[in-house]
Amino acid sequence: MKGKVLEMKKQYYKVGVVGATGMVGQRFVTLLENHPWFKLTVVAASGRSAGKTYAEAVGSRWAMPTPMPESVKQMVVQNAAEVEQIAAQVDFIFCAVNMPKNEIKALEEAYAKAECPVVSNNSAHRATPDVPMVVPEINAAHIEIIPAQRRRLGTKRGFIAVKSNCSLQSYVPAFHPLMQEFGVEKALVCTYQAISGAGKTFDRMPEIIDNVIPYIGGEEEKSEQEPLKLWGHIEGDRIVNAEKPIITAQCFRVPVSDGHTAAVFVSFAKKPTKEQLLDAWKNFRGPAQELGLPSAPKQFLHYFEENDRPQPKLDRDTEHGMAVCIGRLREDVLFDYKFACMSHNTLRGAAGGGVLLAELLAAKGYLD
Ligand SMILES: NC(=O)c1ccc[n+]([C@@H]2O[C@H](COP(=O)([O-])OP(=O)(O)OC[C@H]3O[C@@H](n4cnc5c(N)ncnc54)[C@H](OP(=O)(O)O)[C@@H]3O)[C@@H](O)[C@H]2O)c1
């Protein structure tokens, strides 16, 4: 296995984080400290941060529960726009920037064309048909579209791979092991999303205290459409979306620091028993577990028997924030079943999911 080979050789991939000063960027910086395969060598952000040390540029914005790693404090932040210069220093980049969509698209393509693979948290390229959008437990095979994308971009090494939106990170994994045998036909989901999903802390979003905001721009469309790409298939030089399940979503912002919850209602082509559902979740393993990727949770789907779980505050760090927590499974009067699920939005739903995707790409040789 590639990972074992890397460990034996003590060889690292050099990695840059573009958007390193932001909420997701800080998570990347934290996760890359002592990573067995990846070594953080470049931190980059906007011109506002460029030239400052990382500690100066982030200042009071540091929002992680652990202190800023010593190894990054004195690194000088580079300007993300200096693509060729950064590409020459790294083997690939993670990208998590807050910019207009067309600018993110252009920036990510510029890195790919500079022969620097991009593992992105941004939504800009999620709908691009030859850009794989991957949850490694679900659709790892979609990375096989990368040669077609390289042909379009005219690159040898460079490409863009993305992870999906954080909102769907709890319910799509819960549906996945049920798709083949029982056929998920339709689902209604209401998400209760943490403020770190907007790059905020309570200090920087006082309007959320004692409040619920029933709107997150663009989130409902992503929650309904992106799952269809994850369950799509490769046809020639593009990924063709699945047609089912039909998903309708409402997405609310709630006063929680980290952890997106979803209330889920679902109907099947062939209704499973409750025991069949629980067994499917308990026994599910995907390519991330089979390949033994360093950031993969041992048990991806955790079912809680207690009536009042999962809760973000108690359960978001399950398996280092990389697991999906499910609970309250019961029959419904309109749909077949209803249940609750929750996952950490900046770990599994953002930077952790990005690191896991990069580990998959490394294990399969796409970063060499
Ligand atoms: N937060 C989440 O849970 C989450 C989940 C999934 C996906 N995402 C996506 O990840 C991306 C980043 O989100 P975030 O929450 O980390 O945002 P954020 O906290 O606002 O951080 C934004 C980052 O982008 C950089 N940036 C802004 N303008 C730039 C420019 N013109 N050129 C280069 N860099 C620029 C900022 O650098 P400066 O510090 O120099 O301004 C900062 O590093 C977004 O696309 C978001 O949709 C977020």
Cβ–ligand 1 contact at 23 (below 6 Å): yes
Cβ–ligand 1 contact at 98 (below 6 Å): yes
Coil, helix or strand at residue 217: coil
One domain for residues 179 and 328: yes
The whole domain housing 113 covers 2-165+351-363
One domain for residues 174 and 158: no
Catalytic positions: 166, 260
Ligand 1 pocket test target in 21, 95, 97 with most atoms within 8 Å of CB: 97
Cβ–ligand 1 contact at 24 (below 6 Å): yes
pLDDT score recorded for residue 11: 75
Q: For the whole model, what pTM was predicted?
A: 0.96
What is the mean pLDDT, run by run of 10 residues, along the chain of 368 residues?
47 95 96 97 98 98 96 98 98 98 98 98 97 98 98 98 96 98 98 96 97 98 98 98 97 98 98 98 97 97 98 98 98 98 97 98 96
One domain for residues 188 and 331: yes
Structural domain includes residue 368: no
Block residue for tokens 């050789």: 9
pLDDT score recorded for residue 7: 52
Q: Of the candidates 176, 188, 278, which has an alpha carbon nearest to the alpha carbon of residue 227?
A: 176
Q: How far is CA 97 from CA 19, 289, 352, in A?
A: 5, 29, 16
How much distance in Å is there from the Cα of 24 to the middle of ligand 1? 7
Domain tally, the chain: 2
Q: How far is CA 360 from CA 11, 130, 148, 200, 354, in A?
A: 16, 18, 18, 30, 10
Pairwise CA distance, residues 233 & 239, whole Å: 5
pLDDT score recorded for residue 8: 42
One domain for residues 10 and 136: yes
Residue type, 89: Q
Structural domain includes residue 257: yes
CATH code at position 279: 3.30.360.10
Pairwise CA distance, residues 189 & 243, whole Å: 18
Q: How far is CA 320 from CA 56, 203, 296, 348, 354, in A?
A: 28, 25, 9, 9, 14
- What six digits make up the tokens of 272? 């499973």
Considering only CA atoms, which residue is closest to atom 18 of ligand 1?
22
One domain for residues 212 and 175: yes
